[in-house]
Amino acid sequence: MLARFFGKLGHEILYFLETTGRMGVFLFTCLLCLVTPPYRIRAIIRQTYFIGARSSFVIIFTGLFTGMVLGLQGYYTLRKFGAEGLLGSAVAVSLLRELGPVLTALMVIGRAGSAMCAEIGIMRNSEQIDALETMAIDPYRFVMVPKFGATILSLPFLTFIFNMVGIMGGYLVGVSLLGLTSGAYFQGMYQNVVWDDIEMGLVKSFVFALIVVWVAASKGYHLHLERSGGFGAEGVSRTTTSAVVMSSVLVLVWDYLISAMML
Amino acid sequence: MSEESREPIIQLIDVCKSFGDQSVLENVNLDIFEGTTTVIIGPSGTGKSVILKQMMGLLKPTSGRVLVFGQDLSRISKRELQAIRMNFGVLFQNVALFDSMNVFDNVALPLRERTKASEKEIRQNVEEKLALMDLDGVNEKYPAQLSGGMLKRVGLARALVLNPKVIFFDEPTTGLDINKSNEIYRVFYRSQLRFKYTSVIVSHDVPRIFKLTDYVALLADRTIVNSISPEDFQLSKHPAIKSFVETTMGPIYISEEEEADYYEKI
């Protein structure tokens, strides 16, 4: 009984170490290929269009409503203390430090991360990755590098758009609906938002970009090694789901860790 | 089938392969000679594709050595392996074309990625290979729009485009009817005659594949029984080969001596 328990525990630990090691090597190889020539600028631009440009609508939409709800909730909370004038800075700081990078990352996971994982998983399943290798084309450079480059490039920009639209959303509710003056909204923001807020948001969006593309690409690439069986359409769907869950959780965990480190 | 020189370009020496606890190959020894065709046959699910993948360096043996052009695949760097693979062409079982690219781009991909050829040279080369495969007017089509037989021919065109020394075929005719299979054999024969490549084929299409091959290697009980000519194979007294021949080919392929008896009785 006890032996079986420890046997299973050991097995689990070994599996965990194996998976983590594999993903670590994968990340290292991808980053190395990204920064060493030949650079695949054209392919990165093409992927940026898919991951970045085509995500902008959904980012604008979620950013607008996040800003609006922040404006609404913030206004009623601040009014209790007679501090409605701080609405602008409250909206801006919460967006810049937290909500902007986190929600943008979560939206990109849903829109592009899942698609990347499924695409690479299908390439693995249908031997397209093997085909690349036998043609002496490095799958890391051919498939992974454009996705890594594009995500790392896109996410900070998308976060920037999210923040801008969010601040405008807060303005829309605070100033146009609830009667705050435009001057008060921006004056508070001007006084209270500091470079540290922007820096934290920027660091987060870079780290989240790495997490999103790393988990999605690595899960897809190692689909055939999944313990739950990575075969067929069901294998792809299961792996994609697990990639989405894992990257979302990692984004939230790292959000806390970065906040704790930078505060 | 072309003339052989007795120089093996691929050698499997005491190769064992297991996945977890499951042993798939045990002490496999096989030589592939330059300019020849070797077909690996055996029941489904016994590890024929695993042998092929070891030759391509996609899987590493658990023990034993795989030598390609004299180099041990598990002892060389990634760069050296890539250099060796420049001499390979592969027709995968499910063809493995890139489904988001059209036929032309699929065939052109190895040239665009691995050579410095101009777009004009690439177009010339790709169109020549597609014409050799009797594929005209499909350049702009996507893999999902093609029939099984056409897909295999596009796959072969892609395998040929870098003029490789060795082409691996993983079940080239599985899932095709007799006419489509014959088309594949025809373009295979024609292209080998022209480009003189060495080919290694994993196939189920016994006995028809025997007409095209120089050597037949039977995989049974996790090992390669023998690599011999199709004629010797059909007459072999080795129990595993004999049993395979009898179960797959039936009484038409009984050995000469038995045939004599059979006719005498009549």
Q: Cβ contacts (< 8 Å) between B85 and chain A: which residues?
A: 133-136
* B82 touches B95 (CB < 8 A): no
User: Which residues on A lie below 8 Å from B162 (Cβ)?
Assistant: 135
Higher pLDDT, B253 or B214: B214
Alpha-carbon distance values, B136 to A154, A230, B140, B153, B191 (Å): 41, 37, 10, 11, 16
Instruction: Give the model's pLDDT for residue B177.
Output: 86
Say if CB A198 and CB A96 are below 8 A apart: yes
For residue A20, tell me if it sits in a domain.
Answer: no
Range of the domain at A44: 40-262
Q: Using the beta-carbon criterion (under 8 Å), do A128 and B96 form an inter-chain contact?
A: yes
Give, for all 263 residues of chain A, the pLDDT tens digit.
888 999 999 989 998 999 999 999 999 999 999 998 888 899 999 999 989 899 999 999 999 999 999 999 999 999 888 888 888 999 999 999 999 999 999 999 999 999 999 999 999 988 899 889 888 888 999 999 999 999 999 999 999 999 999 999 999 999 999 888 888 889 888 888 899 999 999 999 999 999 999 999 999 999 988 777 667 888 899 999 999 999 999 999 999 999 999 88
CB contact residues (below 8 A), chain A span 123-152, against chain B: 123, 126-128, 130-131, 133-138, 142
Residue B210 is predicted with a pLDDT of 86
Residue B177's Cβ-count burial label (10 Å; 0-12, 13-18, 19+) is: exposed
pLDDT tens for each residue of B89-106: 999 888 889 988 999 999
pLDDT of residue B1: 45
Instruction: Please return the burial class of B254, using the count of CB atoms within 10 Å of its CB with bins 0-12, 13-18 and 19+.
Output: middle
Please check whether residue B260 touches A, CB under 8 A: no
> DSSP label at B16?
E
pLDDT over threshold 90, residue B45: no
Of B92, B114, B162, the CB nearest to A131: B92
In 3D space, the residue among B136, B166, B170 whose CA is nearest the CA of residue B152 turns out to be B170
Q: Count the domains in chain A.
A: 1
CA A63 from centre of chain: 15
Q: Where are the domains of chain B?
A: 1-87+164-229, 100-163
Which of B58, B92, B113 is facing A142, going by the closest CB pair?
A: B113
How far is residue B205 CA from its own chain's centroid? 12
In angstroms, the Cα distances linking B158 to A77, B141, B152, B176 are 66, 15, 10, 19
Q: What mean pLDDT do residues B121-142 have?
A: 89
Domain B1-87+164-229 indexed as CATH 3.40.50.300: yes
pLDDT at A32: 93
- What pLDDT, on the 0 to 100 scale, is given for residue B259? 56
What's the alpha-carbon Rg for chain A, to the nearest Å? Answer: 22
Mutate to test the interface with B, among A40, A124, A135 (most CBs of B within 10 A): A135
**A18 interfaces chain B, CB cutoff of 8 Å:** no
Question: What ipTM does the predicted assembly reach?
Answer: 0.78
